[in-house]
Structure formats: structure tokens, C-alpha cells
Amino acid sequence: MLWKLIKLELKKTKWRGLLLCAVITNLLVALWVVSSDVPNNEVRSYDRVFQSIMNYCGITFIIFSSVLMSRMVIDEYRNKTITLLFAYPVPRKMIFLAKLIIIGVWTFVTVLLNNIFVVISLLIANSHYHYITETLTHDRLIAEAIRMLIFAFTCASVSLIPLYFGMFRKTMPALIVSAFVLSNSSMVIVNNITVEDGYGIFMTAALVCFTIGVLMAYAGVRRSQL
């Protein structure tokens, strides 16, 4: 039943525009990091630049996910098409779960791909302009790849929280503003965790974000039933 609801939501959502916007956003973030952030701020270490990339990717696509959430949830309330879904002999929580799974997976994939794309763009640019002279080892790349996966999972978890705030007024601005505040707040955690701290702290922060995300999303679903 859940898989059928997910397929139904995938068919209903207009993905072409979202995918085009995601591609353009990827290019803009990469352009910003390569042509402005790294050279203008005189970034000279990979730790610093990788953290900056995570910041930009995380903030950008958590906010981006709130746009998707607005289309899948808020717009259906405004257009009153949600009542048709609620008429199905399916628990309301199951309908919201299908939507949240799509939003979480979308955020995970876009954040991960954006990180990879921007890092590759930076490494190509660095091979020509030598912004960073530090040697990038194979082990360091593997460590960063693992951090990217954990970070994408963290962003996917945080992207679920705005649903709670969006259900207060059922407006897109409420979702966007809450996503902006939450994304910036979560990036403070990222800035204070380095590779030297190991994966334990990073994974703990990710699990905390996941727990909060699930609980807040559940509270948002409960609020929809009021």
C-alpha cells in the first residue's frame, strides 16, 4: 500500500521543473565556490573548503526541499485536492508518510550529488589555479566521501522538520522561513565537527537530527488532523 501511494505521489508531482532548477542550482553553487568563495576568502586547506561546500549544499537543498514539501502538502490544502486523498480507504498518516519519504529521499540525493559535483568542480579548478597546495590523499577522499553520505542523511532528516511549522498556517512562506532557520542552525553543528573528531560525533549528530526530524514530522501530521 505504501509503495502504491509513493508511486501515486511521484506521478502527481511535476518533476521536470524541479530537476531543471536542481541542475541550475548545482551549477550556481559550484560557480560560487570555485570563482568567489575559495579565491576571495583565501581558503588554503581542504578541511575548510569541504566544510564550506557542505554548508552551501546543505542550506541550499534543505530550503529547496521545503519548496517540494509546499507543492506536495501545502498546495494540496490550498487547492483542496487533499480531501480527495483523505477520501481513500487509507490511513491519513500513511498518505503523509509517502510524501515525507519522497521529500527525504529527494533531499538526500540532491545534497549528495551537489556535494560530489561541487567537490569535483573545485578539484578541477584547483588543478589549474592551485588555490590549495595541500596534498589530497586517497584516504582523505574516502573519509570525505563517508562524511558526505552522513551529511546527506542529516540534511534529509532536517528537511522533515519544516512540515510541523508549515501546518500552522498552511502557507509556503512558513515552510521556507523555517527551512532557512533550521538549515543555518544545523550547519553550525557541521562547522564544529572536523575529520579529526572521527565519525562517531558526526554520526551521533546525524541520528539526533533524524530523531528530531521524525518526531517533528509526526507532530506535523498530527496537527493536520486537528
- The label of the residue with cell 494540496 reads 76
pLDDT of residue 152: 93
pLDDT of residue 86: 66
pLDDT of residue 196: 57
Give the 3-state secondary structure of the chain: CHHHHHHHHHHHCCHHHHHHHHHHHHHHHHHHHHHHHHHHCCCCCHHHHHHHHHHHHHHHHHHHHHHHHHHHHHHHHHCCCHHHHHCCCCCHHHHHHHHHHHHHHHHHHHHHHHHHHHHHHHHHHHHHHCCCCCCCCHHHHHHHHHHHHHHHHHHHHHCCCHHHHHHHHCCHHHHHHHHHHHHHHHHHHHHCCCHHHHHHHHHHHHHHHHHHHHHHHHHHHHHHCC
* Tens digit of each residue's pLDDT, the chain (226 residues): 788 888 888 888 888 888 999 999 999 999 988 888 777 777 778 888 888 888 899 999 999 999 899 888 888 777 777 766 666 677 778 888 888 999 999 999 999 999 999 999 999 988 888 888 888 888 888 888 888 999 999 999 999 999 888 887 777 888 888 898 888 888 777 666 665 556 677 788 888 888 999 898 888 888 766 5
pLDDT of residue 202: 76
Whether the Cβ atoms of residue 49 and residue 140 lie closer than 8 Å to each other: no
Whether the Cβ atoms of residue 115 and residue 151 lie closer than 8 Å to each other: yes
- The label of the residue with cell 534529509 reads 156
pLDDT of residue 83: 67
pLDDT of residue 29: 92
Closest to 159 measured CA to CA, from 72, 49, 69: 69
pLDDT of residue 192: 66
pLDDT of residue 104: 94
